[in-house]
Amino acid sequence: MDSSPIDRHRDFLLSSPTYMGNPHNTIIKDGSFFHDGNMMLYNMRYVPGKGKPKVMPITFVGRVLSSGNNTGLVGNYVGSKDDPKHGKRTAFLGRPFDEGFMTDWDTTISTFSELISLLSKDQGADVSYLWQDDDVANNDGTFRFGCPLFRALKAGEHKDDNIPPVIPKGKESSTFWTRAVDGYAFATFPAVDINGNSIPNEDVQSIIEGATVAIDAVMRGWKFKSDKRWGFAVDVKRLTVLHGAEEEEDIELPSLPGSQDTTATDDGPRAASPLYQIGTTGSAVADTIPTAVNDTERKVRKGKGSTAPGLSGTYIA
């Protein structure tokens, strides 16, 4: 029986020394954090006489959460940041549903925590900006990843006409967006499908949400004098969609009181229970299922990208 593309991709990754879910990875053995400006980058180990060590890309596989998915063209907008260079498109990566990769997740997070501890020492995984839940006691390994929202315009390059249409209402004159319009263009979110085909910037948010993805990234850490804890960021260099979001299954709901032998489904009850009647006899109120908290509708404007729900997410330095 032929294996599926995602199975073949996992087989390939399990032979990679830099796949976090590979129990035989050599990430800790072959790498170390190297001081680069005011940041610490995870690089190949320094070899005397060989110059500056190369950055080590490491690979994660997980599922992109629907909550906190700020990978639309507005990005993870933070009103307190005036410089567009701080703009990020971010999302959270959690345990995947695909059976093979699901079993790799514990190894991934174990390796991740060990890597982080190289800088944080006795603080271990108790770090800032990285985890979905900064409370270590509640941390299930879900972490934030991202990439730049903008890039600086090149000499002689025209302004990016795609920026003005997506500026949040009322923010058109803000310092952040004024500078973005005058001196920046949208950076390309490096997302591809399993065959290596590029995913358009405006489609990234909807396509990766709920999907199983492989992320090739660079680890970055920092700690300034005023910081109590180390901060970390996972900077995406390539995101590969391995499997689309799982389709929602029909939910069979229990029968309502008085429904006799009928069965209730997600389409609603088959019979009207007295619990759903008000006023005079025979006046029934339509039974509706409340919308889930995370079922936020995202509207995509053709050619102009998507509007991201929530414009005040947490900023990655």
- Per-residue pLDDT tens over the stretch 219-261: 999 998 888 899 999 999 999 999 999 877 678 888 888 766 5
Residue indicated by tokens 């249409």: 165
**pLDDT given at position 244:** 92
**pLDDT given at position 314:** 36
Strand partners, 115: none
CA distances to 83, 87, 194, 212, 317 from 178, rounded to whole Å, are: 10, 13, 37, 36, 21
Is pLDDT of 297 > 90?
A: no
Please state which of the ranges 3-17, 114-128, 162-176, 203-217 shows the lowest mean pLDDT. 114-128
38 vs 64, higher pLDDT = 64
Please report, rounded to a whole number, the percentage of residues in the chain having pLDDT higher than 90: 59
Please say whether the beta carbons of 142 and 65 come within 8 A: yes
Q: What is the mean pLDDT of residues 69-92?
A: 86
Is pLDDT of 302 > 50?
A: no
6: closest CA among 66, 63, 69, 58? Answer: 63
Torsion angle of the four alpha carbons 300, 301, 306, 309, in this order, in degrees rounded to the nearest 10: -70
For 62, the 3-state DSSP assignment is strand
**pLDDT given at position 261:** 57
38 vs 159, higher pLDDT = 159
Return d(Cα 7, Cα 100) in angstroms, integer: 8
Q: Cβ atoms within 10 A of the Cβ of 18, count?
A: 16
CA 30 to chain centre: 27
Element (H, E) at 147: strand 143-148
Is pLDDT of 284 > 50?
A: no
The pTM of this model reads 0.77
At 309, the pLDDT band (50, 70, 90 cuts) reads: very low
CA distances to 72, 106, 215, 312 from 80, rounded to whole Å, are: 19, 36, 29, 10
For 150, the 3-state DSSP assignment is strand
Residue indicated by tokens 């995101």: 239
**pLDDT given at position 242:** 96
Return d(Cα 188, Cα 84) in angstroms, integer: 15
CA distances to 17, 55, 154 from 52, rounded to whole Å, are: 21, 9, 27
